């Protein structure tokens, strides 16, 4: 979106997203739309400055109006000052009144408490496959899930869309069965579950009926007080749940959770549909909660403020990171950088090895070419020597056949010895020639 050259109009409660993408924020408050230049963080600063300026202007005008009204009241009935008083009254009538700036919007109140401490180990999941669907639609999302949650931890589960984060929350609670492995909960655990789709609510009941049917010991006044804390007031408590907005349903669920007083909160995308004020109130309530939280969310502000440990889910592995989302991001980026550095070093080592091997091959090739040249020269020498030796043998054989030499024992013995040496030399030269020819072939 940042690279898009056209205009963009966005409705979003994602503060990270607003900071990344937006160049102007338009806020609708009390029937007015006010425009602020810059991103969400800039809007917060400008709104505070504008509110402070408007309050000063309002107070200055109120002071001036009070002064004029006081003068008119004191001098209108006097003949000597009546004319001046009427003039001041005209000034009062012409003043364009500044509305009192809205400095404070009542936020909801969300307080989450519990009555009993659970055991140290809240839940232990060992080698559980996560399988969803039935029959032909049956699908294995995670081969083997192992995770532990300890008392007081605020654990956030993150992962790619469709990996099965919501299903994990249902798996560990037994809402969907597990086909292997083991899931064991500690003692004295009381779960309060916030479901993303608010399926725990009966759409046919009114808001007030939903509360009073769940907690029949509450008086109507007490129930309305609980609902009023989350800004479900007046005639809104008589609305059917089916007509509530997503934010109103979420607030009703928080009211139910506050009454339930669970020591383990299981939350599936609790900030979906919430306005920014309610998000901030919820974040504070969860951050202050002394019990255990198991949370699925994409809200990075929430993950940073609430999480004490991040569990990253992948199809083939589960990784745990101590700290909030920023700490997780730093750890992942550091691991990625280390992996890239390691891969770069391996690549450099491989390239260096290949270079050396290539140089060695080139060096050996040069030596081999020189050696082959020497062999070819030697073969040519041998061929000449073989030819000369064969001529010598021919001459010696002819000499031995000469009657004059044959009759002289001494000369005959000498010629026979030379002939034998020549034949031996010829055999050696032929063997050497054959060996060198084989090497070059």
C-beta of residue 27 within 8 angstroms of C-beta of residue 34: yes
C-alpha–C-alpha distance, residues 255 and 230, integer Å: 7
C-alpha–C-alpha distance, residues 185 and 151, integer Å: 11
Question: At 423, which helix (H) or strand (E)?
Answer: helix 409-440
Give residue 398's pLDDT: 83
Q: Quick one: how far is CA 103 from the chain centroid?
A: 37
C-beta of residue 7 within 8 angstroms of C-beta of residue 21: no
C-alpha–C-alpha distance, residues 127 and 104, integer Å: 51
Question: Quick one: 279 exposed, middle or buried, by C-beta within 10 A (0-12, 13-18, 19+)?
Answer: buried
Give residue 104's pLDDT: 59
pTM: 0.68
Tokens of 134: 């039935």
Per-residue confidence in pLDDT tens, the chain, 441 aa? 999 999 999 998 888 899 999 999 999 987 889 999 999 999 989 988 888 888 888 888 888 888 888 888 888 777 677 778 888 888 888 888 887 776 656 789 999 999 999 999 999 999 999 988 888 888 888 888 999 999 999 999 999 988 999 999 999 999 998 888 999 999 999 999 999 888 889 999 999 999 999 999 999 999 999 999 999 999 999 999 999 999 999 999 999 999 999 999 999 999 988 988 899 999 999 999 999 999 999 999 999 999 999 999 987 788 999 999 999 999 999 988 888 888 888 888 888 888 888 777 666 677 787 888 888 888 889 889 988 888 888 888 888 888 888 777 888 888 888 888 888 988 898 888 888 888 877
Give residue 57's pLDDT: 87
In SS3 terms, 270-317 reads as CCCCCCHHHHHHHHHHHHHCCCEEEEECCCHHHHHHHCCEEEEECCCC
* Residue spans per domain, the chain: 15-94, 121-334, 362-440
Give residue 229's pLDDT: 93
Question: So what CATH class is 121-334?
Answer: alpha beta
Give residue 134's pLDDT: 81
- What are the residues whose beta carbons fall under 8 Å from the beta carbon of 331, sequence distance 6 or more? 321, 323
Read off φ and ψ for residue 188, nearest 5 degrees.
Answer: 60, 25
For residue 151, what are the CA distances in angstroms to 88, 157, 173, 302, 350? 71, 16, 16, 20, 49
Give residue 242's pLDDT: 94
């Amino acid at each position: 979106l940042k690279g898009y050259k056209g205009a963009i109009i966005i409705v979003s409660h994602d503060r990270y997203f607003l900071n990344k993408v937006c160049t102007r924020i338009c806020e609708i408050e009390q029937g007015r739309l006010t425009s602020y230049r810059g991103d969400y963080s800039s809007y917060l600063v400008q709104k505070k400055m504008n509110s402070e300026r408007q309050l000063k202007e309002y107070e200055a005008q109120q002071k001036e109006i009070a002064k004029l009204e006081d003068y008119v009241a004191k001098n209108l009935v006097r003949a000597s000052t009546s004319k001046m008083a009427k003039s001041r009254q005209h000034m009062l009538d012409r003043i364009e009144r500044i509305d009192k700036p809205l400095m404070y919007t009542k936020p909801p109140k969300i307080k989450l408490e519990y009555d009993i401490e659970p055991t140290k180990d809240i839940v232990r999941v060992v080698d559980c496959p996560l399988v969803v669907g039935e029959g032909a639609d049956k699908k294995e999302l995670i081969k083997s899930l192992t995770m532990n949650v300890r008392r007081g931890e605020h654990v956030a589960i993150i992962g790619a869309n469709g990996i099965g984060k919501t299903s994990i929350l249902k798996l560990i609670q037994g809402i969907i069965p597990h086909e292997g492995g083991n899931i064991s909960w500690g003692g004295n655990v009381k779960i309060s579950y916030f479901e993303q789709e608010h399926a725990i609510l009966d759409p046919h009941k009114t808001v007030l009926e939903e509360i009073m049917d769940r907690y029949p010991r509450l008086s109507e006044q007490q129930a309305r007080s609980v609902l009023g804390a989350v800004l479900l007031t007046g005639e809104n408590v008589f609305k059917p749940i089916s007509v509530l907005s997503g934010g109103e349903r979420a607030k009703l669920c928080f009211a139910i959770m506050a009454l339930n007083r669970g020591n383990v909160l299981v939350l599936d995308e609790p900030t979906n549909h919430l306005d920014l004020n309610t998000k901030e109130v919820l974040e504070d309530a969860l951050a202050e909660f002394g019990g255990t939280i198991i949370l699925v969310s994409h809200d990075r502000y929430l993950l940073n403020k609430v999480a004490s440990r991040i569990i990253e889910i992948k199809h083939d592995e589960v990784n745990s990171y101590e700290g909030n989302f920023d700490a997780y991001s730093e750890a992942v980026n550091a691991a990625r950088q280390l992996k890239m550095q390691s891969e770069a070093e391996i690549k450099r080592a491989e390239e260096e090895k290949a270079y050396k091997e290539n140089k060695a091959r080139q060096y050996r090739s040069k030596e081999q070419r020189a050696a082959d040249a020497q062999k070819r020269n030697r073969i040519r020498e041998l061929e000449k020597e073989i030819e000369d030796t064969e001529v010598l043998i021919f001459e010696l054989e002819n000499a031995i056949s000469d009657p004059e030499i044959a009759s002289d024992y001494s000369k005959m013995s000498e010629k026979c010895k030379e002939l034998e040496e020549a034949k031996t030399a010829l055999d050696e030269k032929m063997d050497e020639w054959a060996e060198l020819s084989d090497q070059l072939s």
